[in-house]
A and B are shown apart, each in its own frame.
Chain A
């Protein structure tokens, strides 16, 4: 039986990386070996029936394996605990860290993200023994792993929502009907955000935690990745810079100063069900504004008056309507006041200083 010598664990590997290790050269697995595993796992109907009666397929599609980035590796390079055939019924979950660590000698993509995963909500739950929390292969796929840039990859942007949606069912349903979801999934516009564009990939943290990219105080920054760019906004028919104008409001300033109580982007636009304000289902559609502002005890009793006006106002832009004109009037008034009073001060100073120079004696 073959053993994969140097790659026992991540810890061992760190030591191994320090001293040169003869890197195993991946060679096409001998047909005999694949066939050996394939005696059982190559059969489509090969499955295990659990005690509760649910059947789990144990079939491994050889074609899927051949297409994957791991096509040159042997079954036991990953399933390292198989040392005899037939092997014990329950094998250990494959540990991707056997190869994917920084400085690995086999040339596997270095997984600098592992640390992020360990600290993430998924990693924390997984390491605490919750097997429902995803490990690497739950998102990246097991036998059919392909590069994330390959549209067939489970973590390709267009497929990320469905991958996350396997567990986050409700959110996936909301997302697919949102402006972001329709743009990405139906129109194939990869500029539209998938889950990971906002939440991050390996280091996903709960929104309640301040360090999270989607925490109350980080949301504006996260949305500004796209909506902070005027040119981007114009391309999608958003006439003003929504993040910049938000930053100037009471909400925006309090949010920047760390208040989780005030409205952030998602408070009004929702997190996953973001829709254009012109859509009657949108939470920021004028008809829904009273409900939205009155939600969560923010502005109890909010009524139709809340929708009588514009949102995301830039007082220095003509689009702001009356607010632009009032602001302009006050700017002119402020400058005139400054100029007028400044002029009086200068005249007063000049006269009195001249008086002083000529001396009081010249006065009567």
Chain B
């Protein structure tokens, strides 16, 4: 599948193998962390009880959760070095920085949804929604790592922290995890899998490639920078891609 796409001259490379690998590790890690975390957070409901049974009880659940927590910490270190010390990574981070234009772009997108404008607003390399997903997942993960370490090393942490702060940490870790779960497993999965035109999936996360057609539709500013004002011609048989 991917080789076929690579041969397609109408596609361009959007992400490197390194970036795709980071995405894979993050995807697997956050999925396992969410399921093992929910088993405890939602233990009062049947969902939690079912998850807890599947995951082999309290001790096994905890061991799995902490193992993948270590993976997440390693991935965070990997990503940190990537965006700080590699030229390509640093450029991506710069592209990802939020701007006031992102907010205006999002408002304009709402206007387009509501029929105020005929065309969606033009977006750059990363749309406001993608930036929100990146920073939500990134800062959220950092917060989860911080609070998670306090919970993991609770005996040592409680020697320094008052008990009420430990209780607050427990609440923050639980709800922050729930919000991340909603952001990634609700919103992100909708956008890349279920949004009409993307079903069953947007393939970029597999190949790292994107069609020029989709780039034109979804990342107009990046397209103009790369190819100028020349509109892409849809390949024969290829359905016109949808907007963001």
One of B79-87, B97-105, B162-170 at the interface: B162-170
Q: Indicate which residue in A315, A350, A351 contacts B171 across the interface (CB closer than 8 Å).
A: A315
**How far apart sit A348 and B113, CA to CA, in the bound complex (Å)?**
7
B176 within 8 A of A: yes
B197 within 8 A of A: yes
Q: Is the interface of B mostly helix, strand, loop or mixed?
A: helix
CB < 8 Å A-B pair total: 112
Q: A333-B179, A348-B195, A355-B242 are in contact. Are A327 and B171 (CB under 8 A)?
A: yes
- Size category, B interface: 35 or more
Q: Are B158 and A351 in contact (CB-based, < 8 A)? A: no
Q: Are A331 and B175 in contact (CB-based, < 8 A)? A: yes
B134 within 8 A of A: no
Min C-beta distance of B50 to chain A, whole Å? 13
B205 within 8 A of A: no
Q: Are B196 and A302 in contact (CB-based, < 8 A)? A: no
One of A79-87, A208-216, A337-345 at the interface: A337-345
Q: Are A259 and B44 in contact (CB-based, < 8 A)? A: no
Residues of B close to A330: CB separation below 8 A: 171-172, 175-176, 179
Q: Mark A156-180, 1 if CB is under 8 A from B, else 0.
A: 0000000000000000000000000
**How far apart sit A248 and B161, CA to CA, in the bound complex (Å)?**
21
A12 within 8 A of B: no
Q: A334-B179, A345-B190, A352-B195 are in contact. Are A306 and B172 (CB under 8 A)?
A: no
Q: Are B186 and A326 in contact (CB-based, < 8 A)? A: no
One of B19-27, B51-59, B68-76 at the interface: B51-59
Q: Are A303 and B159 in contact (CB-based, < 8 A)? A: yes
Residue among B162, B176, B197, B244 with max Cβ neighbours from chain A (10 Å): B162
Q: Indicate which residue in A303, A306, A309, A341 contacts B182 across the interface (CB closer than 8 Å).
A: A341
B3 within 8 A of A: no
Q: Which of A266-314 contact B (CB under 8 A)?
A: 299-303, 305-311, 313
B160 within 8 A of A: yes
Q: Indicate which residue in B59, B163, B196 contacts A306 across the interface (CB closer than 8 Å).
A: B163
B78 within 8 A of A: no
B110 within 8 A of A: yes
Q: Mark B9-52, 1 if CB is under 8 A from A, else 0.
A: 00000000000000000000000000000001001100000001
Q: Are A351 and B43 in contact (CB-based, < 8 A)? A: no
**How far apart sit A321 and B164, CA to CA, in the bound complex (Å)?**
9
**How far apart sit A321 and B165, CA to CA, in the bound complex (Å)?**
12
Q: A333-B175, A334-B182 are in contact. Are A308 and B164 (CB under 8 A)?
A: yes
**How far apart sit A349 and B59, CA to CA, in the bound complex (Å)?**
42
Q: Are B163 and A356 in contact (CB-based, < 8 A)? A: no
A4 within 8 A of B: no
B155 within 8 A of A: yes
Min C-beta distance of B41 to chain A, whole Å? 10
Q: A257-B58, A333-B179, A334-B178 are in contact. Are A323 and B187 (CB under 8 A)?
A: no
Q: Are B171 and A305 in contact (CB-based, < 8 A)? A: no
Min C-beta distance of B58 to chain A, whole Å? 4
Q: A305-B163, A338-B182, A352-B197 are in contact. Are A257 and B57 (CB under 8 A)?
A: yes
B162 to A, closest residue via Cβ: A308
B197 to A, closest residue via Cβ: A352
Min C-beta distance of B220 to chain A, whole Å? 14
13 CB-based A-B contacts, threshold 8 Å: A257-B52, A259-B58, A299-B155, A301-B156, A309-B165, A310-B164, A310-B167, A313-B167, A322-B168, A341-B186, A344-B187, A345-B190, A347-B110
**Measuring CB to CB, which residues of chain B are less than 8 angstroms from any residue of chain A?**
40, 43-44, 52, 57-59, 110, 112-114, 129, 154-156, 158-168, 171-172, 175-176, 178-179, 182-183, 186-187, 190-191, 195-197, 239-240, 242-244
Kindly list 4 other residue pairs between chains A and B, CB separation below 8 angstroms, not including A254-B58, A321-B164, A330-B171: A309-B165, A342-B186, A344-B187, A355-B242
**Measuring CB to CB, which residues of chain A are less than 8 angstroms from any residue of chain B?**
248, 250, 253-254, 257-259, 299-303, 305-311, 313, 315, 321-323, 326-327, 330-331, 333-334, 337-338, 341-342, 344-345, 347-353, 355-356, 360, 363
In the A-B complex, the 10 residue pairs with the smallest Cβ-Cβ separation, listed nearest first, are: A309-B163, A330-B175, A309-B164, A308-B162, A352-B196, A347-B113, A341-B187, A254-B58, A299-B155, A257-B58
